[in-house]
Structure 1
Amino acid sequence: MTVTIKPNDKAITAYYEQMQQYKDLGVSKETSVRPAFLDLLREVAKKADWVQIQEHAKKNAQGRTIYPDSTFVKNGLPRGYYEAKDSGDKLDVEIRKKTEKGYPLTNIIFEDTQTAVLYQNRKEAFRTAISDRDELARLLSDFLSYSEPVLENFDAALANFKDRVPELARGLVKIIEEAHKKNKAFQTAFNTFFELCRTALNPNISTAAVDEMLVQHLLTERLIRRIFDNPEFTRRNVIAAEIEKVIAALVSHSFNRDEYLRSLDSFYQAIEQAGHGLDFTQKQGLLNTVYERFFQGYSIKIADTHGIVYTPQPIVDFMCASVAEVLQTEFGKSLGDDGVVILDPATGTGNFIVNLLRRVPKQHLETMYKERLFANEIMLLPYYIAALNIEHAYYELTGTYEPFEGLCFVDTLDLAEGAQMRFSFMTEQNTARVERQKKAPITVIIGNPPYNVGQVNENDNNKNRKYEVIDKRISETYSKDSNATLQKQLYDPYVKFFRWSADRLQGRDGIVCMVTNNSFVDQLAFDGMRKHLMQDFTRIYHIDLHGNVRQNPKLSGTTHNVFGIQVGVGITVAVRLTENVDSQIYYYRTPEDWRKEEKLNLLAEKQSIKGVGWESLIPNIQHTWLVPKNASEFADFLPIGSKSAKQSTSSVTTAIFKTYSNGVKTNADAYIYDYDRTSLIERVERIVENYNSELDRWQRKGKPQNLENVLQVDEKVHKWIRYTKKSVLRGKYADYHETSVRVALYRPFNKRSYFFERTFNEDTYQFPKIFPSLVTEQENRVIWIKVGTEWPMFPLIANCIVDQLPQGGSQCFPFYTYDSVGDLPSPAGEGQGVRASSSPSRRENITDWALTQFQTHYADPTITKWDIFYYVYGILHHPEYRTKFADNLKRELPRIPFAPPLVDTALTPSPSPAGEGNLDQAEVEPKILVSKVMISIGRELRQRLTDAESLLWEHVRDRKLGNMKFRRQHPIPETNYVVDFYCHDSRLIIELDGAIHDHQQAADATRQQELESLGYHVLRFTNDQVFANLETVLTTILTTHRNRLPSPKTNQRDTNFVSFLPSPAGEGSGVRATPRSDATIIEPSAASLPSPAGEGSGVRASSSGFFAFADAGRKLADLHLNYESITPYPLKWIESKTLPLSYRVEKMRLSKDKTQLVVNDSLTLADIPPAVFNYRLGNRSALDWVIDQYQVTTDKRSGITSDPNRDDDERYIVDLVRRVITVSLETVNIVASLPAQFSP
């Protein structure tokens, strides 16, 4: 691989700038100036995919340990080295000294800030003055391009090994499956081994899982023997010996082991040659890399279940050194002293035990190795390599080979089973080891437990096990004392290991040191866990290494996370020393944007917790460790909801909302969501049929409780989620009902058809009581709030079912809840659920306590529950509220303040409703503030009238028709609609329609009903009617106008009229144009947005800050609920000159400057206002959500294609983009008009 570094590379420029700063400061010492060249090397090394490790220990040819300033590694193998000398030394003299000490000269740079020398193949290959930019670039290029045939072969073999392994593994699986059917000797041997696995590892283990163990052994045992030069491995290792018995029975005339694996010879040889000449530590790193690639290529399921991530060496070093430090400073002991008994409960490849062995004083080493050191592993390949690593490390330290009797092939969490513990652990020797460990008085627990929760795909039937004792312990401690509603994360494996470790100390003083997912430090679900950690330990040290890519999308898992994963990582050292009365927490966080190399280098520099500058944390009464600065102020606000209020049966509930719910969780989105209703119906009918067929088959097989070996998985048809499996075990048949296919808000501004049937959803939570029927969608509203630490909080209103949302989930606060019969709505007459044609009994979900609080605080008995609902929605949009309490909102549900009264508010009486026959009275409409956004839209759209609109306007303008005064594109303030033509004298609205679609007809009907309920009359004509029967259209308008007048009126003029905005050309739909509100500007009507089902009092022109927020909340709600009928923003269209115009979307993309959106090759939308991106929902703008969701995708596992393009409205997505831009701009305006103060 040739790497070219250019002289003008940013890294070289940055290096020169940094060195100039050192020169100006008179700094020249090696330890001071070295970071500049290290930074340069780290940056350029990325171009070769090399990872820089500082002062990494290496054994030279004489067996002595050396520490190059930097080692560069790729795929577990060293590729280059770096040594720095300060300018006061003679560089050539230093090179000679390093050479004599055995420093590698294969590919190493020496430099002294003046000169850089590159050695390759033990010869000087390049020398240059560092001030020569061109020559320095050449030296770096040669350094990074260096390779050896062995390394090149290894890299190629590693890539091919990953690709080739699945094919060979599938072949072996087929051979084993045939042997299960035909080979009696194999059947006997396998059954014996299978029973051992059931008793030792997992009582529910499947045949396929044990088959996988055989495959793993067959494919990798050669590497273990050859790389570590241990031909006796399969005989010495107690588990490998048992597996060899099964494989020996597998060998027959139809299967020859050596012949079958011969095709891998070239891969094996390349890997073995790469391992030749490496010291043991490097071999260990090499095999870690090989195993990671093996699992990536073959056992994705295993990696998925256990979260296989091997621990970087600097983390291992830091943790082991920290344990030694705590033993010394807190307990006055060394690693080898009596009473120090150590266990690694998830040892992986044994790195922690090896590291600890090297720290034990040699006088205590034999006793420690044989009596006080233990390790467990549940996966076969890591178990093998752990045995080799640990035994070789002991041999290296003592010159004596001794099997490590402390290593057990066992599931650590099973060891909590107490009296119910199973009596056999694979083999007699392994069982004896486990029993010895169980009796050991463990005082130190150290390691890297699995981090994963469950599995990516339930169909794989490889989910993490349930552990009766540990799960119960979590339930009665961490879960019981948590205020969180969603507690699934408390059953993550790493949490179980924390619970198990605290219990395993059995009341003794001791240390638990683990590197884990660090969600428990600050996420709401872990408040109970944090409480018990403080009770279980007296000192807790935590280094936050960040790396949560889900929380910060600017980060990259491979670049910023020390494990290359998506979740945050932290190191915890928990100490129990009962003589310390008070528990204390010490916290340190690395900069969030640091790359993983920087974090690992920090750990190497600090060496142990002794070198860390800790911050002492003082938890609050909610057991929050990272207490936000404004916690006390936030706590004074009213709770929007609480777990205690939700569970309370008392009539007095001290929260604004009585109940709330997660969004629905499917765990099968591709199957039961779809943009196309017809496609979804066809698919779920097949799903129901397949499910019932499998249920029948399960019953015929005698209803076995272990479904893993029974269910037939066809991902093209059906996905077996947890609840679907539970339904099988309950013998519950499924039915398909058309009323179960509903519309759901899947993501912001993204609706899809959804199968609302309990059997095929992981959980529907409270939604059967929130939207049990279609009727309830007409009257109920929910405030959908994003919760969790991954994304900033955001609210969005909905009148339909909503999804849970990824990354922490969501909570939904409805205005109404309903009685529901059964789980979910079923068709009328079925005797279950709620009839789709009727509304079930409802209850207002805003509590009487909340109503009393607001009415009392504001001394205003007219405040209603609908006012409070929209007030909450308004508050949740306040920028300063969301910024000031951002940390609080990530850790708990929102709390709502009392807004202070407005200052200098001038009230003007609202006009009486017009259209009631009292037009003789002189009515003056108050002035309305029109947003600049809508003025811009109006100017644009007036230039784009349809032919039908232009024709009608020519015949009604300037009082040509019966002296009627018409206005084009006139706003109706009570509803914020903009209509095509409006005559104020008779309250008559004229709308022209182009092409009519089903969804448009429904929107028109809703709008017309609302307008007529306010005293307006709507006449609607098609474009064709205007062209073909213009005279009839005009006659109908004039007759309707005269019939609505109480007496003839002529030349009536409106005063204080502000010219409003045109609606889209040809749309004829009337459009909501939300005016900006202001403390001194009064809306044109006292009933701006009627509450659903007539429950509310409408918007009020109020002197109270409460109503300012309630009014804004209503406007925002109206805007966000009706986003599909809002005025599309007039973007500039750029059409292809060579392609026919198409509206079809595959995947839209923004230009770099975000001013243009490429819809497809034929159409680009331009002139996107920058302010659009100021309306953000989490880490994305509303427009970004639309772009992200409205694309054609195919689910890899099911093959299901999700296509958002609509056959009934080809322009839907393009118009939606324009509508969401309008929504965004208007939202920004309304939010900007909110009172500056949201709390006293």
Structure 2
Amino acid sequence: MAEQLGIVYTPVEIVDFIIHSVNDVLKKEFDRSISDENIHILDPFTGTGTFITRLLQSGLIKDVDLQRKYKQELHANEIVLLAYYIATVNIENAYHDLIPKTEDNVKNQNYVPFEGIVLTDTFQLGETNESEVLFSETFPQNSARATKQKKTPVRVIIGNPPYSIGQKSANDNAQNQSYPNLEKRIENTYVASSSAGLNKSLYDAYIKAFRWSTDRLKSDQGGIIAFVTNGSWLDGNSTDGFRKTIENEFSSIWVFNLRGNQRTSGELSRREGGKIFGSGSRAPISITLLVKNPDATNKKATIHYHDIGDYLSREEKLKIITGLGSVGNPRMSWKTIHPNKHGDWINHRNDAFESFIPLAPEKKFDLKGQSFFVVQGPGILTSRDIWVYGFSRNHMAQNVRALIAFYNSQRSEFETKRINKPDIKVGDFINSDPTKISWTRALKKDLEKNKPHSFHESKITEGYYRPFCKQSLYYDKSLVESPGLNQIYFPKPKTENVIISIPGVGGTKDFTTVISNSPTDYQVQFNNQCFPLYYFEERQKNSPSLFDAAGDREYIRRDGVSDFIFKRAQKQYGKNVTKEDIFYYVYGFLHSPDYRTTFANDLKKMLPRLPLVDDVRDFWKFSKAGRQLAELHIEYESVPPYPEVKVTGDDSGYFKVQKMRFPKKGQKDTIIFNSKIIISNIPDKAYEYVVNGKSAIEWIMERYQVTIDKKSQIKNDPNDWSKEVGNPRYILDLLLSIINVSVQTVDIVSGSITNRVGNQI
């Protein structure tokens, strides 16, 4: 259950910082203290009781107030039974350790239980009338405590809310609990204020905790919410509505950004520093205090922001937190944040970006749209990659056949079960053994509909799985959860087309782009968005799905580049400009270092917008460079090795790879290919070509290794690809080619593209 709830226990350094911060802000805003009467404090997600325990031990509660505070004004909730018992013991022990000794130097032996803790799901409190009697049959005293707590005027809410947003996969049947009332409040506040298209993250558990806590505070009395949480909300594109709302709902806000986002890579990851929760969370972390002061006159919150700094280890961060002690420490250099119209608090967008022409249309296939392309869509999202992708066509086909056979057996058994038990639910029936099947929402629906599936050899194609890594792909809608628009980009196996891939909105890595000529996966870039040179319409009407057998279907080729941009470019640069020229202009421009640097924040929060450069000579330089780059990046397998690279051991004839590696950390001029072959004298420049947060060379090293999936136990061996293409040296030749591709890419970008954006930015 702890994993389902996203529970991660909190370092005491952070707990102490939050407790002392609350006390300082209480004094500053309300002229009160934690020790004062009627300052009720609630930890709604208490875990093992660390926050309440450390509060008792903090010295912030006066001896004269201790008994009253313990018996009447400290409250905690916990849903995990074991943690509930541990928290109770911890809190009670902390209190009794503080009880003054008698004149005989003996502790008062009257044991006082902590009655402020409730075994409950905090979010469920108040959802329905049933929540009034939660656990009432098993723990009647618990129900009375819950009812009492709900009537208590809480002034301070502290803690570490759970982070989880949902199941990791549909194989996990422990679907997270639904809270209709709370989710409606989120819809009417955070979602209503958001301009983002996808709002799933606004229903994350820690965001729910902020919403629940905000509604729990009494408006006439005010109060403080002090949480340590996932810090993604600070700069997330989809959490703009949350930021806008809390700015309006509170009078002052304090944010201590602890960084540590390890969903990044390379230099950015190193700059983010250590993970505060160790292996417990890879997310960025922030400490947030939201203050609701009814006497405040400002209409919007004053937002105070402090960044802990770059390149700090976990231990260094905890030492800094301990040294500062509280948001009230004058040594904390607070910066006042002024949100822009987009709801950006940090990493503001550049206003000039909006004056450019959008790459993507507002509406797909809008032939009158004013954008570079008329269509764009996500890459292929299978939700079961290990089953439907593979370096070996035959092994992948065997895996797919086995999965389909198991699915059909489950389907038959389910139908038999339904005869005697018609109300049986799919989730309660299915076998989720990951060595036999990978369930998804769509496959479960098929089971419920008693829809059979069968294997079709013709559905096997070649997929562009990761940068410069192709694998065999079983491309059938029965097993591809979200096919994107690849069925209209590549309606037939040998369809000739070219796709520009860029990251989707909300990524953490620096912007990059790559190009391919085959069906492209959703994670070639972060949530990959594909822009085609062409798309295809079926000539026949009311025809079967494009996933069905191709038969004799005919297709009409349409241009992906819009007539709008074509006419503008011809007017600006001359009638000899073609849509293909514009397509490669886009690819060239997206490689501009000036563009990527100037609009780095925009490119994380929005899809690209580009200008048509003023000077016709610059247009052709971008277009020509884009063509050169596209040829390199599409025909990468045929690029000759970089001439200065040295290869030893290839005369051994042993080309199988297990896992390529560098000789030691930081030494990248040499790659140990296998036990016989070593590649050396690799230029530093080659590592400057980065796609999706990683150098092209390191993509080859990562993807072309033998792996065994932990859950399914499926083996994926890149040496099988070498056999299937009939070239034992394939992986070695590929690596040598990519080194040269990388060097040439850097040369083209630095020679033809750098500083060509000019006064456009």
Structure 1 residues 506 and 1204: alpha-carbon distance in aligned structure 2, compared to 1, 3 A threshold: farther
C-alpha distance in structure 2 between counterparts of 1:637 and 1:416, whole Å: 49
Whole-Å separation in 2 of the counterparts to 1:502 and 1:731: 46
Q: Call closer, same or farther: CA 1:827–1:650 in 2, change over 3 Å.
A: closer
Q: Answer whether contact 1:1128 1:1221 (CA < 8 A) is retained.
A: yes
CA distance in 1, matches of 2:524, 2:56: 43
Q: Which amino acid aligns with 2:305?
A: Y
2:277 to 543, 554, 563: 563
On the 8 A contact 2:465/2:524 being kept in 1, the answer is: no
1:401 aligns with 2:111: yes
CA drift at 1:815: 3.6
What code does the residue aligned with 1:600 have? L
Deviation of the 1:1189 alpha carbon: 0.6
TM-score by length of 1: 0.55
How far the C-alpha of 1:854 sits from its partner, in A, is 4.0
Following superposition, the deviation at residue 700 of structure 1 comes to 2.7
C-alpha deviation, 1:387, in angstroms: 0.7
Alignment-derived partner of residue 750 in structure 1: 469
Aligned counterpart, 2:121: 411
Q: What's the counterpart of residue 206 of structure 2?
A: 494
- The change in CA–CA distance for 1:515 and 1:1108 in structure 2 (over 3 A counts) is same
Contact 1:342 1:373 in 2 (8 A): yes
Q: Which runs of 5+ in 1 are unaligned?
A: 1-301, 829-834, 902-1102
Cα distance per residue 1:167-216 (max 9 Å; x no partner): xxxxxxxxxxxxxxxxxxxxxxxxxxxxxxxxxxxxxxxxxxxxxxxxxx
Q: Among 274, 283, 290, which residue is 1:574 paired with?
A: 290
TM-aligned CA distance change 1:424 to 1:410, over 3 Å: closer
Mapped partners of 1:888, 1:1151: distance in 2: 38
How far the C-alpha of 1:787 sits from its partner, in A, is 5.4
**Aligned residue number for residue 591 of structure 1:** 309
Q: Tell me whether 1:513 sits opposite 2:226 in the alignment.
A: yes
Query: Deviation of residue 696 (structure 1)?
Result: 2.5
- The equivalences for 1:722-1121 within 5 A come to 722-774=441-493, 777-785=495-503, 788-805=506-523, 808-818=526-536, 825-828=546-549, 835=550, 838-840=553-555, 843-855=558-570, 858=572, 860=574, 862-901=576-615, 1103-1121=616-634
- Deviation of 1:1182 after TM superposition, in Å, equals 0.9
Question: Identity over aligned residues, as a percent?
Answer: 36
Q: TM-score, normalised by structure 2?
A: 0.88
**How far does the alpha carbon of each residue in 1:735-777 deviate from its partner, in whole angstroms, 9 at most, with x for none?**
33334323221110001112233443443344444444435x4
Identify the structure with bigger relative contact order (alpha carbons < 8 Å, sequence gap 6+): 2
Find 1:623's aligned residue among 324, 343, 353: 343
The equivalent position to 2:31 in structure 1, one of 332, 337, 355, is 332
| Equivalence map 1:157-168=2 (5 Å) | none
CA positional deviation for 1:457: 5.1
Contact 2:258 2:276 in 1 (8 A): yes
**Aligned AA for 1:1187?**
M
Partner of 1:439: 151
What is the DSSP-based 3-state SS (H/G/I as helix, E as strand, rest coil) of the residue aligned with 2:648?
strand
Correspondence for 2:105: none
Q: Distance in 1 between matches of 2:511 and 2:75?
A: 45
Report the secondary structure of 1:728's partner residue: helix
**Following the alignment from structure 1 to structure 2, what is the Cα–Cα distance between the partners of residues 822 and 477?**
44
1:1164 aligns with 2:678: yes
> How far is the alpha carbon of 1:513 from its aligned partner?
1.0
Equivalent pairs counted in the alignment come to 724
**For each residue in 1:417-451, what CA deviation from the matched residue of structure 2 results, as whole angstroms up to 9, or x when unmatched?**
24574743242222222222233333322110122
Question: Of 380, 385, 388, which residue of structure 2 is paired with 1:669?
Answer: 385
What SS does structure 2 have at the residue aligned with 1:560? Answer: coil
Give the whole-Å Cα distance in 1 for the aligned partners of 2:579 and 2:120.
Answer: 58
Aligned to 1:104: none
| Matching residue's letter, 1:1117 | A
Alignment correspondent of 2:353: 634
- Quote the Cα distance in structure 2 between the aligned partners of 1:615 and 1:504: 29
Deviation at 1:413, TM superposition (A): 1.8
Partner of 1:656: 372
What's the CA shift string for 1:122-163, capped at 9, x where partnerless?
xxxxxxxxxxxxxxxxxxxxxxxxxxxxxxxxxxxxxxxxxx
1:461 to 153, 158, 173: 173
Structure 2 CA distance for aligned equivalents of residues 339 and 661 of structure 1:
56
Match runs of 1:94-109 below 5 Å: none
1:1233/1:609 CA distance change after superposition, 3 Å: same
* Distance in 2 (alpha carbons) for counterparts of 1:1166 and 1:814: 38
- Give the distance between the partners of 1:768 and 1:468, measured in 2 at CA: 37
Secondary structure of the residue aligned to 2:256 is strand
Cα distance per residue 1:884-917 (max 9 Å; x no partner): 322332233222133231xxxxxxxxxxxxxxxx
Alpha-carbon distance, 1:541 to partner:
1.2
1:1230 alignment partner in structure 2:
748
Tell me what 2:647 maps to: 1133
Partner of 2:140: 428
Helix, strand or coil at the partner of 2:207: helix
Alpha carbons of structure 1 residues 558 and 625: separation in structure 2 relative to 1, 3 Å: closer
User: What letter is aligned with 1:1190?
Assistant: Y
**Within 2, Cα distance between the matches of 1:823 and 1:407?**
60
Aligned to 2:715: 1201
SS in 2 for 1:801: coil
| TM-superposed deviation, 1:816 | 3.8
SS in 1 for 2:465: strand
Match for 2:287: what amino acid? I
Q: Distance in 1 between matches of 2:64 and 2:375?
A: 65
In the alignment, structure 1 residue 384 sits paired with structure 2 residue 85: yes
* 2:320 matched residue in structure 1: 602
The one-letter code matched in structure 2 to 1:1181 is: S
Q: Provide closer, same or farther for how the CA distance between residues 382 and 853 of structure 1 changes in structure 2, counting only shifts above 3 A.
A: farther
C-alpha spacing 1:435/1:760, structure 2 compared with 1 (3 Å): farther
Residue 789 of structure 1: CA displacement? Answer: 4.1
Aligned counterparts of 1:1104 and 1:1112: Cα–Cα separation in 2: 12
Contact 1:772 1:824 in 2 (8 A): no
Q: 1:553 to 1:1223 in 2, by over 3 A?
A: closer
Contact 2:132/2:143 (8 A) holds in 1:
no
Tell me how far apart the structure 1 counterparts of residues 271 and 150 of structure 2 sit (CA, whole Å).
Answer: 38
**How big is the alpha-carbon RMSD for the aligned residues of Structure 1 and Structure 2?**
3.0
Amino acid at match of 2:547: S
Question: What residue is the counterpart of 2:404 in the other structure?
Answer: 688
Whole-Å separation in 1 of the counterparts to 2:86 and 2:544: 51
Shift of 1:675: 0.9
Indicate conservation of the 8 Å contact 1:534/1:583, yes or no: yes
The answer to whether residue 75 in structure 2 is matched with residue 361 in structure 1 is no
Pairing 1:713–2:421 present: no
Going from structure 1 to structure 2, the CA distance change for 1:540 and 1:812 (only over 3 Å counts) comes to farther
Q: Which residue of 1 aligns with 2:731?
A: 1213
Deviation at 1:348, TM superposition (A): 0.6
Q: The residue matched to 2:752 in structure 1 has which SS?
A: coil
Give the secondary-structure state (helix, strand or coil) at the position aligned to 1:1104: helix
Deviations 1:487-519 (A, max 9, x none): 443333212222222233364522211111111
Q: Helix, strand or coil for the counterpart of 1:474?
A: helix
Shift of residue 576, structure 1, vs aligned partner: 2.0
CA distance in 2, matches of 1:588, 1:552: 23
Label 1:855 to 1:361 Cα distance change in 2 as closer, same or farther (>3 A): farther
Aligned partner of 1:1185: which letter? W
| Consecutive unaligned residues in structure 2, runs of 5 or more | 100-107
Q: In structure 2, how many angstroms separate the alpha carbons of the residues matched to 1:663 and 1:518? A: 28
Residues 652 and 340 from structure 1, CA distance in 2 versus in 1: closer, same or farther, beyond 3 angstroms?
A: farther
Partner residue of 1:524?
237
Contact 2:384 2:438 survives alignment (8 Å): yes
